[in-house]
Structures are given as C-alpha cells and as structure tokens.
Chain A
C-alpha cells in the first residue's frame, strides 16, 4: 500500500473533474484520479451544445433561461441554484472560448447558437436559440479543450486509478472527509490518498439500464462510495430517458437534430408531437417527448414489424446542413444501421441517458450529510452530484453547462478550504475495507457470473422502472434487485491476477450498480406522483402538496448486519416561480 498526500484530490476527469482541476491546480497541490484516460470520459459523447443566454442571434436573457430550467425540472429544481446556473452560463461559455474551444460561428464571428428542447423565449412563448455548439460534437470539444488546459496548467493525473472507498474521520463529533482509497489498474496496488479536500466528479450510473446512451464505464462509483459511508443520495428516482437513441442500441442522436429542424414521425408518417406539445412540438422537454413516443408505440402507431420504434426524419433538411451541423450522428446512422439519413428516416427509441439525482450538494459543491449540514472537505460536481439544478427532468444543453459552472465552483471552493485546514487524521487501517472487498472477489469460489447478474439487472430495470412505472412494476424491480444482491455475494471471477484485472473491476462496478439500482427503485416506489422523468401510471398527476420535496435516501445497517434504505425528504428552494401546470 502506498500513501499519498495532496491538498485537493479530484475523483474523475470528465468535464466537471477537469474544470475543477484547472481551478484547484492554480490554488492548491492537486491530484486527479481517473479510472480512464481523461479524454475517454463520457463528456466527450455529448453532442448538441451548452446553454447560455448570450443573445448572439436573438433576444434572450438569463432570467428566461432560469425559468425554463425550473419549468423543465417540473418545479423540483432548487431555484437559487438554477439562477446561478443561468447567470454564470454566460461567463462559462466565454471562458471556454478563451481556453480555445472552437465554437461554430455566426456571420459576425460571434459564437453561433441553435434551438434545443425546452429552451424558450419569454417564459414559453416560442423556441429560442440558446445552445452554443461545435457541430454535433460539443462535448468532445469541451473535453478536449479542458484536457488541453489541464496540460497547460500542469495538472497531475493518476490515470486508470479506481477510487473504491471514501474515508471519513470523526473529529469532535463532526464527520470529516480525510481522503480516498484507490486501486491501480496496471498493478493491482492499493493507494491511500490523504487529502484536505476531495471532489467527486465521477459521472453517472446509466449502466444499470440495458438500452442506454451511457458508456460501459458509467457505473456510479462515486455515488456508491459515499453512500456506503452513510451519506445520503438525493432524488435518485429521477432518471432521464432521452427520446432519440438509436433503436435497440441506445446510441445517442442529439436533440440538436430536432433543433436543426428534424421531425419525429410514427408509422403513418404523422408528426405526432403536434398533438402532445402544440407550441414546442418536437422540441418539448425530453420527458414529455419520451412519453409521447411510447404512447404512440403502445397505441399501435410504432414503426417496423414489431411496432417498437418511431422515426427521426431528417430527409427534408439539405444534405449540406446535415454535413455541416450533424456530421457525427448521420455517420452513426450509416455505420450502425446502414441507413442514409439524407433519404431515409432513422429508427429511434428513448434511451436511458442521465441521472438527475446524486450526491446532494449546496451551490458551492459542498456535500451534505443531511438536509443542511455539510461534510467538511467533501465536494461533488457534475452528473454525480445533485445541486439540484435539474430537478425532475434536465433540459438538453444544461448538463455541459452544469459541469462547467459547478465544476469550477467546486474546484475553487475545495482549494480554498484546503488552505484553511490541516490534514484530518486517516482512520485506522484506511485501506482495510477495499482490501477485504478485492480479496473476497479474487478468491471467491461462488458460482454466479458478473455478466449474467448485470444482464438480469439491466433487463429488470428496462422492463420495470423506465419511462412508465407503477407500484407493481417497481415492486417487481425491488424484489429482483434484492435477489440479485443476494446472488452477488456468490459472484466469482476468472482473472485472479494483479495486472490490468478488468474482470475484477467489472465485478466491483456491478456491486455499485446493484446498490444504486435499489436506491432508485425504493425512492421511486415511495414517490406516489408523476413529475418530470418519474412517471407513475397509478398516480399520473404531480402532487405538490405531498411531494414538492427532494428524496434523501440513506443506507442503514442494523445490529445484525442487515442493510436497509431509509427515506427522508428535503424541502425545495423556491424563489421567483410558483409551480404551474407544465405545457409545451
């Protein structure tokens, strides 16, 4: 075991982690621990853009953006945080441009902007052009630009280091972060990082679904690490299903395709979104569009022999526009479906895309241990966190924004905090839990296989807690997850080695997915209303009297070692906007 000491340790090197690293490295001795090489992070898969009311191409302002974010989140958004997001969006985009990001340009040479779902002029009057973009690879350009600036700043990376445990030390009755424990993929060695500040920026957890736009590596490692140490997870029942994933593969096709004029059609060629969202049509918010697609499918208007998808139609757009604005997604259609988008519509279905919930933080990125108390020295930003700026449903282009605004804030706050404090003493045998976990998996002689359990988990999540949910389907999922968790104790791996043991890490990741899937299902079961991405057919309306509040899920361990989930609730911060019925 090796012990390292840093002022600030950042877990994850996607957009949020690297944005934080640029700030933290300028101010404190910083290490970034990432289970991938930084440029492999899933920020790079984001396509459509980053929202900011620059007003480069038409009238716009941050107040309209705040309203759209609050409404898009079905009023579960903390409005103070949404206001910060929308206000700081403008400087965030300008900062990236100054760092070198090659945005598309207007004829005047300013940053070009395009339409995106749920973003409107003057509180819902009509779609507005607010998304700043670089073709359909905006996430790629953000990831590259941030990595380039990390190289420039000399950020210290530990590549292919998996953080498996969060260290907490109780000092005078206060639980404080003292560091993390990491597993080095290349050697199998355990490393303890003692740090004054720790920032989680490890991304989402979409791999518990089968049809998902998420990378294989998005397994909720950060959420699981803090949750197992008794910290809560907020609003985990809210997961976004992006309307346009490639049929059965789940690969993302950007909402920018509809922003450029693309249309969703059913088997009769009907532009069905006109029925569900008369004003915003195909650019209604994602939860609304995904439900509309499945309503069409259920009512027999789906496409194909099994009627199990609908079409994204780009055929009326000029090929030059597709080539200039949507080159990557049109190539995905050609590569993976053998379809020419100039002439043929693309079969799509909703795909599990984004976790609105996560590790609760305040607007400085400080992690909460209950509804109000922060854990000194512990921070989170990006998809792993829940500020909450996305509430019950995130607007497209607000995630690339979130990672920049709150990644930056967390980086600054964590480094500043590191200057005000000494190292917190590590707990006794800090590596013990990770060593035990690794050894148990490496030496297990059980008869369960990782791939089989993961596949069963994904099947049950897709069938039971996706776009439409009922008490019965969620209970089915809870029961199945319980069974899988029991079987997981007998999981065995084939690779017993130390060198690049990805077999072992996949087993660890499955354990994380199982824990988080259970939190999601249990949180969803208790929320007897429909709001944003959480739609209960048995409770089809929003219930502001009983459920205008955030879910806080805690892991409890009984005296006999039995685990359970305790749910609590946290009030929503409301400032300017009173809840209204949500129409697009």
Chain B
C-alpha cells in the first residue's frame, strides 16, 4: 500500500505532531527556560498547519481523493474549515497565554505542548471517518484538556476544575465508547460509510441504543444540555486563557464531529437523531439563558453563554440539510471570534497589582474608566445576544433560515423567543459597564498582543464583519457540500 498520498493528506497533523514531539524533548531537557520560545514555535506550527489546510478548503475538496489510510481519515473541505477555526483559536490562545502565566509565575513549557496535542486531537476528530479515529482524536484532545484545566496546580479551583473535568469526561468517553461498541456489534463495521449502508434499511433497537449513547457522549463534549453540568465549574476554575481555549476550539471540533456522525453515518435515519438534537438545542438555549442570570462571576456567565450558543448551533444541525450545515459552520466561525474576543476582554480586567478580576460587579463604570475596552465588550455582548447590525445576528440568521426552510417552525419560534431571555444578561453586562458608577477596581493596563487580538475580534463582530460574509458563506457552502451524504 502506498502511503504517500495519505501522508500528503495528513500534512497539517504531521506538522503539529512532529512539532509537539520535538517540544517535548525541549521541555524534558531544557525545562521552563524555553517556555517562551516553545510557545512561539507552537504558534508558528499552527500557522504552518493553517496554511497547509487552507488550499483544500478554498478548493472545496471532496470525494474519494480526500480519504486517507483506507478510509480511516478524511481531509475534505468540511474538516478543513473546522481545522482552520481550531488552529486559529489555538494560535490565539498561545498569543495571549504567556503574558497571563508570566504574571503569576507559572509559565511552563508544557503549556504550549499540551495545546499542540489538544489541537492535534481535535484535528483528528474533525477528520474522522471511522468510529475508531473519532475515539482516538477525542481522547487525545480530552486528556490534554484535563491537564490544561489543572495547569495551575497550586490553585485549588484549577485542580478542582481538572478533576471534575476528568471524572465527568471519562464517564462521557465511556458512554461514547459503549455506543460505538453497540453500533459495531449491530452493523459489523466502524467505518462511517459502512454504517450508513448498514442502517439504510432502518434501525433496530441495538443500533438505536448505540446511536443514543454516541449522541450523549458527544453532547457532553459540546456541553449541550442536559450534559452541560461540568461547564460552569470547569470554565470558572481553569486559568482564563485555557478557558478561552476550551470555549472555542473543542466546541468546534465536537460540533463538527457530531455533524459528521449524524449526517454521514446516520444520514438515512434523520428521524432517529433529529428529535434528540432538537430537544438538546432547545434545552441548551433555555438552560444557558436561565442559568446565566444569577451568575456573579464573568467566566461562569460566559460558560452559560457558550451553552446557550451551542443550542443555536444545534438548530443548524437539526435542519439536517446542506444549508443547515453551512449555517452551523458560519455560526461556529462567528462564535469562535466572539468567544475569543470576550475572554481577551476579560483578561484585560485587572486590578492595580495586575491580578485578574472575575466578578461582574468589577466591571462597573468601565465605560468611564476604560472606554475602549467597554466599547469592545459592548459590541461583543450585543453580538452574542444576536442584535443586528452586529455579526452575531448573522449567525442566528443563517441557522434559523435553515430551520425555516425545512419547516421546523416551532423549533425556530421557540428558539428565537428563548434568545430574548439570553439577551437579558448580555444587556446586564452592558448596564454594569455603562450605567453604573465606576467601581474603581480596574486599574491594570492591557498588553499589546491582547489589544491587537481584541481589536481584530471587535472589528469582525462590528458591522464591518458583514463584508466577509459572502466569502465565509461560500466556504461554508463548499464545506457542507463536501460531506459524503448517503443517497
């Protein structure tokens, strides 16, 4: 068997894997002296991987040429666009993290290595064309993520977050694996295309159970309700740059993976999973909105916000059409930008000694004391709430358009009505920043890379971001078209 074409298809993953392994050696022999250097090298590796993926995405790669290793791995445009988002989010994490960790004296070489391996795992996840590839990627990502959550091992909250994440994550992996084994047992294959053929005549009870278990395990990974419990605790406890990473890249990977399993492997049995997705979508929207109202910690609030957003993303999947998938991808891209922007803004909120402030009440009067930061957060919050003319509206627009096209009117109506509940806490943050008297706690100055990243995010969510929607829409459409849907 000639492996060269396969190696060409996994070139981005190879770059990440080799860089990661090399950095492990650097860390083992050099220690933390090279922490800064290793994060720069890792960021360059992400840039390289990004450049390697981009051509396939722009060309809309699809078909049998994208299969590697005998159908275990698939490097089509659909996986490619997700990889672009993952690498961009991981790169952003590496840009902002060193400043954060240096300030508290915890800058470790391991950090960038763990981010590299986590991103590699996600990259494998989104390219999975086989249940085993799926599990491999997922575990590589999860195990790196557990350690990342507990990075600050002196900090109780960070350790708690890591432990919680690990216990619940392991449980979810178990559920997922059990589902995979059921599906394998009843269909005789782990390959997505093979499963699609096997289930085309209908699902028997065993297959249905397998499907439900797989969906549940993946719902945990995207923190969709009712499998969302871990999210607020982990997001709160993990160091802020890590939280930003968790809220962006793994979400993309798991949502894309869920889409691929649903649409490719079970594409002929839409009825079986559509109701599950609809229920999870509505529950996530409502729980994400209601849960956020009582929060006083901004990271917990953003955790509920991410649950809420996952609900909207799932509406695109519930449509089960190419336009639904393309809407989902557009929403994901916008969501990543909004999430990265919000967390970078949160990172800027520091007191006079440079300590991180996480209370929502600390933001009081930010519009007077730090107007630029307040305006950027205002744009991000209204964008998350989906108020036009900010770009967040466009994300909601495309997923609801897809849902309405297939006559899921009740889902669309309930979902959008529930989004008003979510608007309440977004405007509450705006109220605290703009209407309240200054609390005079935010003193620290931001760093240049943080400002640059925040500026980019703010410009993208501003109405100027609409200029890139034709281009984004085109890419998302090609990516959705590259999915190998069973006839």
A-B complex is real? no
* Chain A residues within 8 Å of B, Cβ to Cβ: none
